[in-house]
Amino acid sequence: MSGAPADDEPGVRATLLQRIEYLAMRGAMAFAARLPEVLGYGLAGALGGLFVRLSARRRRYALRLLRNAFPGESDAKLLRFARQGTGNLLKVSLDVARLARFVDSGRLAERVDIRGYRELGLEPPWIGVTGHLGSWECGAAAAAILGHQVHVTARLMKNPLAQRWLKASRRRAGVVVHDRRGGIRGLARALQERCIAMQVVDQNQRLRGVFAPFFGELASCERAAATLALRKGYPIAVGASVRIGNGFRFRIDCETVLRPAPTGDHEADVLALVTAINRALEVLIRRHPEQYLWIHDRYRTRPPATGATASTAPPGDLDAEP
């Protein structure tokens, strides 16, 4: 592990506490990266299962979603999926720690089977969408193995040193990170420059969402990928980087490629494309239920009382752009 970076995020000066937090984070990441896989990933799986057993609220969220996805299955089986999926979430943290080491050594292709990307037959620009399934972090880095720059959006960390290190680490993997707030403009520019844009689109949208069925129940869904695709005709590949076994080894599983067909009714077109994305994600999730994040409160934001399916919220900056 190297020391703190020479400078902070541009225009942001780290406090002493943030510097201590950063060094602690780097130490933890270095330790996690060197743990034997069997030990580290086994411990992550056990901790995830324990968390679900201890959190009644998260069990409630998980069962609501799981009952929609697997009607007729016993709660015991469904909760097993919830525990396994939460363990996978903790394994993704270990993936991030190991990812930098495999990228820096040029050995990431040894651990990720990218034939799923190659079989798509797509040349940039295209949009990739996934859910919190498998290892979404490795999925973006794996796409960069194709030789094209990949752009993603993510919530920025409050610690400027940690944020700078993570951005630099991802950039070495060929992945450019844009702040989730306003980052869609960055994805739009990247697509215009014939790059690949990727988004994780399966979580509740508090604002500006589109209400579309997700496992049979209306959920507030991300609209940005659909809007980008409809604007310029970009294809959308729906897939996931699924874990093979319990450690740091993956296979790209692409379910379908969606090609937008605008009708002139923008809101109806967005809804139709978001619905198609959700259906493809459902197939992937049902195929790998032990690797999905079931404990998220997916249905937190409810549709307007009028019962309209499409969001009545303003479309926001993306739709306002020329």
Count of structural domains, the chain: 1
Q: How many residues does the chain have?
A: 322
Global pTM?
0.87
Report the distance separating Cα 319 and Cα 40, nearest Å: 44
Tokens representing 95 are: 């993936």
The predicted-structure confidence for 105-158, as pLDDT tens digits, reads as follows 889 999 999 999 999 999 999 999 999 999 998 999 999 998 899 999 888 788
Q: What pLDDT is recorded for position 318?
A: 41
CB 175 within 8 A of CB 169: no
In a domain, residue 9? The reply is no
In a domain, residue 6? The reply is no
**What residues contact 77, with CB distance under 8 A and at least 6 apart?**
70
**What residues contact 204, with CB distance under 8 A and at least 6 apart?**
219, 220, 296, 297, 298, 299, 300, 301
In a domain, residue 10? The reply is no
Report the distance separating Cα 240 and Cα 237, nearest Å: 10
Strand-pairing partners, residue 150, are 175, 196
In a domain, residue 204? The reply is yes
In a domain, residue 249? The reply is yes
Report the distance separating Cα 100 and Cα 139, nearest Å: 14
In a domain, residue 104? The reply is yes
Residue range(s) defining the domain that contains residue 54: 16-320
Q: What pLDDT is recorded for position 212?
A: 98
Q: Which residues of 197-209 are buried (b: 16+ CB within 10 A; e: fewer)?
A: bbbbbbbbbeebb
DSSP sequence for 103-169: HHTT-GGGTEE-HHHHTT---SSEEEEE-SBB-HHHHHHHHHTTTS-EEEEEPPPS-HHHHHHHHHH
In a domain, residue 4? The reply is no
Report the distance separating Cα 182 and Cα 174, nearest Å: 21
Spatial CA neighbour of 138 closest among 202, 228, 84, 200: 200
The predicted-structure confidence for 232-287, as pLDDT tens digits, reads as follows 999 999 999 999 999 999 999 999 999 999 999 999 999 999 999 999 999 999 99
Report the distance separating Cα 30 and Cα 35, nearest Å: 9
In a domain, residue 8? The reply is no
